[in-house]
């Protein structure tokens, strides 16, 4: 083997090593970016939950939660269906929770996990308490997509409405006068807003 061949082999090996190193750095950079987004989304959601807890006590208004969403955000409710746009989400919060907040309903958070822009939380829908203090509750789940800058572009609440109905009958629940019924035929489209559909690629 002549010197030129040795030089070529050495150069090739150096290039391979360089590419491997760059690939490792790129992977690390991607992981750091994902970790940063996840930390940011979790911190934002913690503020969201803290506000929701205050709302459950009656100290704040439901409409304030809309400030955690982008202008074109989509909110999916198990009873009310698809709600599009921050202003409509703001109105929906007030209308849908009338007659529930202040009447024993609350939504304590149990756990949260984040994967890139997507965040999943598990919570309980408490409808009230029995005489011995045991809560009437139904487990719920939410999937959110984080858009950045402290805002979510999508939230999909999942709740077993059959279980809700059974619980209401068992507790002999009667709706207060200010309670609003959900639409008879809600929009069941669960897609992300068009501008944020690319975030769904990892779903």
Q: What is the mean pLDDT of each run of 10 residues along the chain (203 residues)?
A: 52 51 47 78 98 95 98 99 99 96 92 97 96 96 98 99 96 93 97 96 59
Q: Which residues contact 137 (CB under 8 A, 6 or more apart)?
A: 124, 125, 126, 127, 167
Alpha-helical regions (H) of the chain: 3-57, 86-97, 161-170
Measured CA to CA, the distance from residue 56 to residue 73 in angstroms comes to 23
3-202 CATH pick, 3.40.640.10, 3.10.450.50, 3.30.750.200, 3.30.390.30: 3.10.450.50
Q: With beta carbons less than 8 A apart as the criterion, state whether 103 and 179 touch.
A: no
Backbone angles phi, psi at 67, to 5 degrees: -70, -10
Query: Which of helix, strand or coil describes residue 73?
Result: strand
pLDDT at 25: 43
Report the distance separating Cα 157 and Cα 122, nearest Å: 10
pLDDT of amino acid 18:
53
User: How far is Cα 154 from Cα 84, in angstroms, rounded to an integer?
Assistant: 9
CA distance 8 to 68: 58
Q: Largest alpha-carbon pair distance within the chain? A: 94
């Amino acid at each position: 083997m002549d010197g030129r061949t040795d030089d070529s082999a050495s150069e090739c090996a150096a290039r391979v090593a360089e590419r491997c190193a760059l690939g490792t750095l790129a992977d690390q950079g991607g992981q750091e970016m994902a970790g940063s987004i996840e930390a940011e989304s979790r911190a934002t959601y913690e503020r969201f939950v803290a506000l929701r807890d205050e709302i459950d006590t009656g100290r704040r208004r439901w409409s304030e939660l809309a400030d955690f969403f982008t202008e074109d955000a989509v909110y999916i409710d198990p009873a009310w269906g698809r709600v599009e746009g921050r202003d409509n989400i703001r109105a929906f919060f007030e209308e849908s929770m009338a007659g529930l907040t202040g009447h024993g309903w609350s939504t304590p958070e149990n756990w949260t996990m984040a994967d890139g822009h997507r965040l999943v939380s598990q919570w309980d829908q408490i409808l009230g308490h029995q005489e011995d203090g045991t809560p009437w509750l139904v487990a719920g789940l939410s999937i959110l997509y984080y858009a950045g800058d402290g805002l979510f572009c999508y939230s999909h609440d999942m709740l077993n409405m059959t279980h809700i109905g059974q619980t209401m009958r068992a507790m002999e629940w009667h709706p207060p006068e200010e309670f609003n019924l959900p639409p008879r035929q809600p929009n069941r489209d669960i897609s992300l807003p068009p501008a944020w559909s690319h975030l769904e690629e990892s779903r």
